[in-house]
Amino acid sequence: MAARTIMIQGTASHVGKSVLTAALCRSFFRRGLRVAPFKAQNMSNNSFVTPDGREIGRAQAVQAAACRLAPRADFNPILIKPESDLSAQLVVGGEVAGTLSAKDFGFVRRNYWRAVQEAFQRLSDAFDVVVLEGAGSPAEINLRNCDVVNMQMARYAAAPVLLVGDIERGGVFASLVGTWALLDEDDRRHLKAFAINKFRGEVSLLNDGITRVSSETGLSCAGVLPHWKDLDVPEEDALGWNGWRHRTPTRTDRVVIGIADVPGISNFTDFEPLAGEPDVEVLPLHEFTARPLDAMIFPGAKHTIRALRFVCERGLDRLAHDVLAAGGTVGGICGGYQLLGRTIRDPRHLESGHDSMDGLGLLPIETTFAAPKIVEEASGRHAASGCIVAGYQVRMGRTLVPSEAQPFLELKGTHGTEHRSEGMCLHGGRLFGTYLHGLFDGAPFRRWWVNSLRASKGWIGLPETQTLSLDARLDRLADFVDRHLDMCMIDRLLEEGV
């Protein structure tokens, strides 16, 4: 028997689709249903690695966790990872399938719509409910013929659609009505209800607007979700990064950690756990700053050469030297690790038109880009602290490290292989590089590392911060949505379908 379906679409990006999808996944799961998330096509440089070494959008990994499932490629069969304004890496079924040009977005629908259908069908056959997520807005009429993720998918899955608008952006009523007005009749029949997200204030003030939207569109209001300042669920796109990176620490004895805000930044969620520490201020760095930094980290980037040019043009290379000279810490993760080295080579032009480019020269390493892409889960021990760390690697680079170098991590071997050294560090750990995404997710290492920054200032260390597990946070999210969304209406949509 085919799964029942419901789909969350939005009037724009970052209106709350991913989070609401995760909440409904957990809500249905808690009722004893077998639930799976599905997003046909995702565009994000925040990816996650599945247990079988495939790559999907991070939001779908969080949604899988809401269903208490391991992430799998079928949850996000198409992943587009922007490299520039005009090109992107195309990942299909979790594996690199080539480069996508902005001039030809119809390429995905022509060549991979069948792969999307097959992924969805496997989920439909195996689960009771599939909660689908759209992307951006279904009313992008210039992209209608290229669509695989919004109404094209709603039609294929026979999914009723809940349309979500973000009142924080302003113009929410116009956005809801405008979206409905720009769709044709075949698509409108899938729209069944709407919800307003991120509201602050007295809900009754929205009554006239809600009535007007229902009158214009025939859609029922499924609820108004209040703004939740500290949502504390991993977010996916750069707007999410803009939100949490400006959190204010609760303590005055704080350490300041600068993150190079490079073009095409990827897996910025690596630093979200740091921003949640009471004595840490995460500072985005667009250019050289005279403000004293206790640490500076170069993050991953979809286009390392482009990021390297940005770093040099904006004086962030000089800043790194200044931080080290002042006794601070400088680190790099993935692409950030690569650009800390002496040379980056790209003989097959996998990332750029350059054969090679000089790095910052802080680490005595050399990196060469080569296929196939390395995508794998990884775990092991931090060499200096002894803390256990776990995460994943997603990279094209192969980095040559001197044999006498001090490793940053000792990773567990896979499939019976021996443990292997990973990354490197110098100056007693004040200069380091690693390919491990998720480095700061584990509280013991995170606190050890922050306390080492505190020690360099002569401050005593703080105890490990007690935080809720992701599972507990997803329960809290589902409780919140259950309170503010008309779940009887949601159940009715699920049962009645289109």
On the question of pLDDT at 463 being above 80, the answer is: yes
- Work out the average pLDDT over 471-490: 96
Q: State residue 229's pLDDT score.
A: 72
pLDDT score for 295: 98
- Residue 243 clears pLDDT 70, i.e. is over it: no
Of the listed ranges 42-46, 310-314, 465-469, the one predicted with least confidence: 465-469
Confidence of residue 237 (pLDDT cuts 50, 70, 90): low
| Range 54-70 average pLDDT | 96
Torsion angle (degrees, nearest 10) of CA 153, 157, 162, 165? -10
Of the two residues 416 and 404, the one the predictor is more confident about is 404
Q: Is the pLDDT of residue 336 over 80?
A: yes
Stated as kind and residue range, the H or E segment containing 164 is strand 161-166
pLDDT the model gives residue 355: 86
Distance of CA 319 to the CA centre of its chain: 27
Where residue 39 falls among pLDDT bands split at 50, 70, 90? very high
Average pLDDT over residues 359-375: 94
| Confidence category of residue 248, pLDDT binned at 50, 70, 90 | confident
Assess whether 437 carries a catalytic annotation. yes
Assess contact for 126 and 139: CB atoms under 8 A: no
**For residues 65-69, average pLDDT:** 98
What's residue 124's pLDDT? 97
Which one is predicted more confidently, 496 or 250?
496
Q: Residue 415 — pLDDT band, cuts 50, 70, 90?
A: low
Query: What number is the average pLDDT over the span 177-194?
Result: 96
**Average pLDDT for residues 249-274, to the nearest whole number?**
91
Q: Does the pLDDT value for residue 38 go beyond 70?
A: yes
Computed over every residue of the chain, the mean pLDDT equals 92
Per-residue pLDDT band at 236 (split at 50, 70, 90):
low
pLDDT at 417: 58
Residue 5 CB contacts under 8 Å (≥ 6 apart), including other chains = 124, 129, 130, 131, 132, 157, 158, 159, 160, 494, 497
Burial class (CB in 10 A: 0-12, 13-18, 19+), 325: exposed
Peptide bond into 372 cis (omega under 30): yes
Residue 42 is predicted with a pLDDT of 95
Give φ, ψ of 291 to 5 degrees. -70, 130
Is 343 strand, coil or helix? Answer: strand
Residue with tokens 């602290």: 385
pLDDT at site 418: 64
Lowest mean pLDDT among 188-197, 216-225, 247-256, 308-317: 247-256
The reply to whether 334 belongs to the active site is: yes
Find the mean pLDDT for residues 39-61: 94
Q: Give CA–CA dist 267/44, Å, rounded.
A: 9
**Amino acid sitting at position 331:** G
Statement: residue 232 has pLDDT above 80: no
CATH number for the region 4-232+472-496 comes to: 3.40.50.300
Mean pLDDT of 349-358: 84
pLDDT of 67 over the 70 cut: yes
Global pTM reads 0.90
For the segment 404-419, the average pLDDT, to the nearest whole number, is 79
- Distance from C-alpha of 24 to C-alpha of 19, rounded to nearest angstrom: 9
Q: Give percent of the chain with pLDDT exceeding 90.
A: 79
The CATH code for residues 238-456 is: 3.40.50.880
Residue 193 pLDDT exceeds 60: yes
Q: Can you tell me the distance from the alpha carbon of 410 to that of 400, in angstroms, rounded to the nearest whole number?
A: 16
Asked if domains 4-232+472-496 and 238-456 share a fold, the reply is yes
Q: Which of 25, 67, 334, 425 is catalytic?
A: 334
Taking a C-beta distance cutoff of 8 angstroms, is the pair 193, 493 a contact?
yes
Q: What are phi and psi of 42, to 5 degrees?
A: -120, 145
- Could you report the per-residue pLDDT of 91-128, keeping only the tens digit for each? 999 999 988 888 887 899 999 999 999 999 999 999 99
What pLDDT, on the 0 to 100 scale, is given for residue 150?
A: 96
If 0-12 CB within 10 Å is exposed, 13-18 middle and 19+ buried, where does residue 313 land?
exposed
> What does the pLDDT average to over 22-30?
98
> Looking at residue 468, what is its pLDDT?
83
Structure confidence at residue 466 as a pLDDT band (50, 70, 90): confident
> Confidence band (pLDDT; 50, 70, 90) for 53?
very high
Q: Domain spans of the chain? A: 4-232+472-496, 238-456
Catalytic option among 190, 382, 437, 484: 437
